Amino acid sequence: MTISRRTLLGTTSGLALTGALAACGSNTGRGGGGGGGGPELEHWYHQYGEQGVEQAVKKYADAYDKADVSIQWRPGDYMQQLSAALLTKDGPDVFETEGPELDQIRGKRVADLTDLIKDVKDDYNPAVLATKTYEGKVYGIPQVVDMQLLYYRKSLLDDAGVEPPRTLDALVDAAKKLTTKKTKGLFLGNDGGAAVLGATPLQAAGLSFVSDDGTVGFDDPAAAKALGKLRALYADKSLLLGAPSDWSDPAAFTQGLTAMQWSGLWALPAVKKALGDDFGVLPFPKDGAAGKPTVPVGAFAAAVNAKGKHVAAGKAYLKWLWVEKEDYQEDFALSYGFHIPARISLAKKAKKLQEGAAAEAVKLATENGFSNPLIWTTAANNAYNDALSRIIKDGKDPDAELRKVVRKAQSELARVQGKPS
Amino acid sequence: MLLRKLLGPQNRNLWFWVFVGPFAIGLALFTYVPLAWSLYLSFFDAHNTVTPEDFVGLANYRTMLTDSAFQDSLLTFVVFTAVIVPATFALSLALALMVNRLRWMQAFFRSVFFLPVACSYVVAALVWKLSIFNGVRFGLANTVLGWFGSDQIAWLSTTDPPWYWLVIVTVRLWLQAGFYMILFLAGLQRIPKTLYEAAAVDGAREGWQVFRHITFPQLRATSVAVVLLLVINSFQAFDEFYNLLSSAKGYPPYARPPLVHLYILALGKEQNLGLGSAGAVILALIIGVATVAQARFFGLGRRED
Amino acid sequence: MHDALVRAGRALRVALLIALAALFLIPFYLLLRNGLAREEDITAPDWTLFPTDLQWGNVSELFADTSVPMARALLNSSLIAVATTLGTLLLASLAGYGLARIPYRYANAVFYAILGTMMVPAAVTFVPTFVLVSTLGWISTLRGLIIPTLFSAFACFIFRQYFLGFPKELEDAARVDGLGYWRTYWRIVVPNSRPVFAAVGTIIFIGAWNAFLWPLVIGQDRDAWTVQVALSTFTTAQTINLHQLFIAAVVSILPLLVVFLLLQRYIVAGVERSGIDE
């Protein structure tokens, strides 16, 4: 089907070249400009929830005149689709990714993009750029920074006489007090938080997945203590579970099913629209003496398929779009949904991010943001998530569960650090 | 001379392959070749690649066999089968017996129970997850609980007690009971009426006695076929598990049957095709042994030759 | 006394049947109720039996949504289901006939090799089959979605068992008229076997329309999505539109329900005559 679609669209742009359709507008989703004769590039995006993003990225692609860029807009399990497509001959030339994954870098499936950004390297949010860097080389250009944070309903907290929680203990306490017959205290996702929280509670306890020297960073009694408190939330029946949509959707919060919800910055416009000023945002609260409040940050990055047919053309296109065209980058981050531009200079300029909850969120991302390191593999992450789920839901002993994860993580870290590719 | 021998009398050998060949070749290509390839990959470290170079011997098998998640997935299959097979068997047989004896509206009731067979697991899982068994106040099950003053239950998220099994089992029961009911109905229709007449003469009354001594024994062939099909199908379980339980961020560690486990391992973000293949080979061996054992137990295969 | 007992028993049985039928119809009721409601009606704290004003606009909204190409998915599912059904019937019935009727030294060996694959569940072959199909460059193509699923050992088995019981006299008459295997098959055997073709065809069609795992893995391109894959993406999307999801589900099962109700008696007759259960 890909082929037939390409051919079809190719014909369209061919017609456009003759000028016959030139007057009818440039809404073909590709080609356009004066060039048209360049190579055909296929560019993948995951489906953004906000209106207008698809039209915007098509507009950018249309404006590029050194290649014929076609946009593939892909709903569904994007990362799974992408991994599978990169195994085959028909993968995209350029694509956005939450990764690139370490195994993709080591398997030389993504191209080295260090040269593309060398002049503006210091302008990228360092926490985010670090996750796209392996052995000093950059394999993905960060597009926008996303973050997760805690939303709370001011009026409900006031009614219950609860202060916005600043420690994990206070969060457990607040969630319990806020739980009524019709409304739960806190929503951490339908699985009780196991999948979305990840390293967040560890970071809040002053720990991490991987420490600076490349060893397991949560082989510490404080880790078990922090995770045990998540179990308390579940055992108290303070958590909302089994909502139709998951943590990424603010629906449960805006429908009044929960008094507090862990969600993304992208939810802020919808929350504001539904609740006006009746909400506030918080980081994940700290735990223990060594702890600090924390928020996970991450970025979709643009990458080039190293096994594709047009590596050089793909690189040139990405450099144009994600390094040179700052007006597009600003438009992409701020005009549709709610994201922080990955370039610090652009983030500073953005008016939208200078007041209210948004400003608060940006400050949190800059001061308390963390990102999972690249060498933290999917296998290690799956083992951790499974253990966290068992701790939260089954009440399994956190110490014993974590010991198993530490072993798995050690062997994965040894695998990815041990032998050079 | 050789050619004639190859072709057989009246070109029968040739004709045999004209009829059977296309099917056999396709089956070999899409079943036996993948099996062989799987076997090959299972001896390699194949992350994100299908043409691996890093030979690791039996390491993948060792990892897989000692992996508690894989063992859990086998246990999940056993539990699931132990519940769904008897439940479906009993329900579909009961439906068939009741529908069979209706004098009016038989077609209507048969259609109602048969209709879910046309639904996909995806659609059914949607209804179950988002409407009947969602964990909030506007789910049907929680609404009903609310009438009796009970608290809401997060059906799919609660592991103690494991309410998720209720969701998983009822969805499959709804989807497949009608199909097996039809098989039982066909079986019932083949039982000679004279048997019942003879029983009536002997004084056996309607009901349990007749069922025990005539109906059920006469349904033996059908019953064996139903059990075999149910077991095979429960081994293939994937759709409803995946659609009920997976989220954008992953799949919970419980209620993960073998097929889901292999999907996550080999085709998810991890793309560990070597390990996934080793798991597939282990499964194939287990199924082979189980099938032979089952066939022995039911005395199948004797009739074949 | 005895009569009264029997009558009470019968009444109880009918009451039980009606209750079960109502239970079996609940999911269909929910599909319609939610599909034709507004979002607020669905998430309202108090249960409404049916939305007061039905939102038929939900249907056009569904087809207007460009992020989930429902019309395209319906077309794909139809193409795949029809092609798979026809292809399977052709290949499996030919093979079944050859195995049942053409004497050949190794026929039994071939038959067991085919039967053996029935015991290999998809769990075992889907990874390498995916690899094979991707090597062929068939990812996200109709070829890749259809061809690997055409070789149903189950269908072949049914046909073989059925043809073993096919009246030999009919074929012998054709032989006398000088017809070979090929023409006997097409002129005598196929026209006299319509019920079994209808039964197997319906089962294959339902299976192909409702297939999920294979289209999920192979049909990655949005243009190659089937109805089931499109539906599934609703549940993993960042935000869920409940009413849209349910109306999409209704649209996805309608074609099949119609086909199903029309062909139901063939399936029942086919099951009875083909001996699927023996």
Q: Using DSSP bridges, classify how beta strands A94-97 and A40-46 pair: parallel, antiparallel or unpaired.
A: parallel
Tell whether B13 and B119 lie within a shared domain. no
pLDDT tens digits for range C10-30:
888 889 999 999 999 999 999
Query: What Cα–Cα distance (Å) separates residue B299 from each residue in B221, B235, B291?
Result: 11, 21, 12
Same domain membership, residue B203 and residue B120: yes
Same domain, A97 and A195: no
> Using H for helix, E for strand and C for coil, what is the string for chain A?
CHHHHHHHHHHHHHHHHHCCCHHHCCCCCCCCCCCCCCCEEEEEEECCCCCCHHHHHHHHHHHCCCCEEEEEEECCCHHHHHHHHHCCCCCCCEEEECCCCHHHHHCCCECCCHHHHCCCHHHECHHHHHCCEECCEECCEEEEEEEEEEEECHHHHHHHCCCCCCEHHHHHHHHHHHCCCCCEEEECCCCCCHHHHCCHHHHHCCCCCECCCCCECCCCHHHHHHHHHHHHHHHCCCECCCCCCCCCCCHHHHCCCEEEEEEEHHHHHHHHHHHCCCCEEECECECCCCCCCEEEEEEEEEEEECCCCCHHHHHHHHHHHHHHCHHHHHHHHHCCCCCEECEHHHHHHCHHHCCHHHHHHHHHHHHHEECCCCCCCHHHHHHHHHHHHHHHHHCCCHHHHHHHHHHHHHHHHHHHHHCCC
Count CA within 13 A, CB hemisphere, residue B101: 15
In the structure, what pLDDT confidence band is assigned to residue C61 with cuts at 50, 70 and 90?
confident
Residue A60, in any domain of the structure: yes
The partner residue sitting opposite B267, judged by closest CB among C27, C127, C153, is C127
Residues B129 and B66 in one domain: yes
Instruction: Identify whether A184 is part of a domain.
Output: yes
Chain B residues 11-70 with a CB less than 8 Å from chain A: 47-50, 69
Q: Does residue A355 fall inside a structural domain?
A: yes
Backbone conformation region of residue C151, classed left if phi is above 0, alpha if psi is from -120 to 50, else beta? beta
At C60, the pLDDT band (50, 70, 90 cuts) reads confident
CB within 8 Å: C139 and A49 = no
Residue A120's Cβ-count burial label (10 Å; 0-12, 13-18, 19+) is middle
Cβ-Cβ contacts under 8 Å, A85 against chain C: 139, 220
d(CA A253, CA A262): 9
Tell me whether residue A363 is in a domain: yes
B124 and B178 share one domain:
yes
- B51 and B155 housed in the same domain: yes
Q: CATH number, domain at A355?
A: 3.40.190.10
Host domain of residue B19: 1-32
What pLDDT score does C17 carry? Answer: 93
Asked if residue B165 and residue B121 are part of one domain, the reply reads: yes
Q: What is the mean pLDDT of residues C39-58?
A: 83
Q: Is B141 found in the same domain as B13?
A: no
Total structural domains within chain B = 2
- Judge: B156–A394 Cβ closer than 8 Å, yes or no: no
Interface of C with A in 191-210 (CB under 8 A): none
Specify if B37 maps to a domain.
no
| Of residues B123, B178, B189, nearest to C249 (C-beta) | B123
* Cis peptide upstream of residue A100 (ω within 30 degrees of 0): yes
Q: Are A218 and A326 within one domain? A: no
Identify whether residues B191 and B257 lie together within a single domain: yes
* B94 and B76 in a common domain: yes
B79/B181 same-domain check: yes
Q: Chain B: nearest CA to C66, how far in angstroms?
A: 21
DSSP state of C36: T
- pLDDT single digits (tens) C179-224: 888 999 998 899 988 888 888 888 899 889 988 878 887 876 778 8
| Greatest CA separation for chain B | 88
- Taking alpha carbons only, the member of C63, C61, C76 closest to residue C223 is C76
Task: Tell me which residue in C113, C127, C156 faces B266 most closely, judged by beta carbons.
Answer: C127
Q: What is the pLDDT of residue A6?
A: 33
Report yes or no on B213 lying in a domain. Answer: yes
Phi, psi of A46 (to 5 degrees): -80, 165
CB contact under 8 A, B263 and C210: no
Q: What is the pLDDT of residues B219-271, one digit of tens each?
A: 888 888 888 888 878 887 888 898 899 877 778 889 899 888 988 888 776 77
The answer to whether residues B260 and B143 belong to one domain is yes
Q: How far is B120 from chain C (nearest CA, A)?
A: 5
Asked whether residue B304 is assigned to any structural domain, the reply reads no
pTM check: above 0.80: yes
- Count of domains forming chain A: 2
Residue A240 lies in a domain: yes
Neighbours of B91 (CB within 10 A): 19
Q: Which ipTM was obtained for this model?
A: 0.85
Per-residue pLDDT, A286: 94
pLDDT at position B173 is 96
Statement to judge: residues A257 and A387 lie in one domain: yes
List CB contacts (< 8 A) between C221 and chain A.
1-2, 5, 72
Report yes or no on A181 lying in a domain.
yes
> Is residue A134 located within the same domain as residue A187?
no
Q: Is residue B305 part of a domain?
A: no
Interchain CB distance below 8 Å, C222 and A75:
yes
Check if the beta carbon of residue B160 is closer than 8 Å to that of residue C68. Answer: no
The 3-state DSSP class for residue B172 equals helix
Closest approach of chain C CAs to the CA of A43, in angstroms? 13
Give the torsion through C-alpha atoms of B160, B162, B167, B168, to 10 deg: 150
- Supply the pLDDT for residue A328: 93
pLDDT tens-digit profile, chain A (421 residues): 333 333 333 333 333 333 333 333 333 333 334 445 688 999 999 878 777 888 899 999 999 999 999 988 877 678 877 887 787 777 899 999 988 988 889 888 899 999 999 999 999 988 889 999 998 999 999 999 999 999 999 999 999 999 999 999 999 999 999 999 888 999 999 888 888 999 999 999 999 999 988 899 999 999 999 999 999 999 999 999 988 888 988 989 998 999 999 999 988 888 999 999 999 999 999 999 899 999 999 999 999 999 888 999 999 999 999 999 999 999 998 888 788 999 988 888 888 888 888 888 888 888 888 998 888 988 899 999 999 999 999 999 999 999 999 999 999 999 888 754 4
Residue A407: CB partners within 8 Å, gap ≥ 6?
none
Structure tokens at A234: 């579940």
Q: Which residues of C107-143 are buried (b: 16+ CB within 10 A; e: fewer)?
A: beebbebbbebebbbebbbbbbbbbbbbebebbbbbe
Interval C109-165: pLDDT, tens: 898 888 878 767 676 677 678 778 877 888 778 898 999 999 998 899 889 888 888
Tell me if A322 is assigned to some domain.
Answer: yes
Residue C1's pLDDT band (cuts 50, 70, 90): low
- On whether both A326 and A205 belong to a single domain, the answer is no
pLDDT at position A210: 93
What are B156-174's pLDDT values in tens digits?
A: 888 888 999 999 999 999 9
For chains A and C, CB pairs below 8 A equal 71
A1–chain C nearest CA distance, Å: 5
Is residue B26 domain-shared with residue B165, that is, in the same domain? no
> For residue B190, is it within any domain?
yes
Minimum-distance CB partner of A378 among B49, B254, B269: B269
The reply to whether B159 falls in a domain is: yes
Contact by Cβ (8 Å): B47, B228? no
How many other β-carbons are positioned within 10 Å of the β-carbon of residue B199? 17
Identify the segments of chain B with pLDDT beneath 50.
Answer: 301-305
Note whether residue A2 is domain-resident: no
Domain of residue A106 covers 26-146+297-370
pLDDT at res. A8: 33
Whether C55 and chain A come into contact, CB under 8 Å, resolves to no
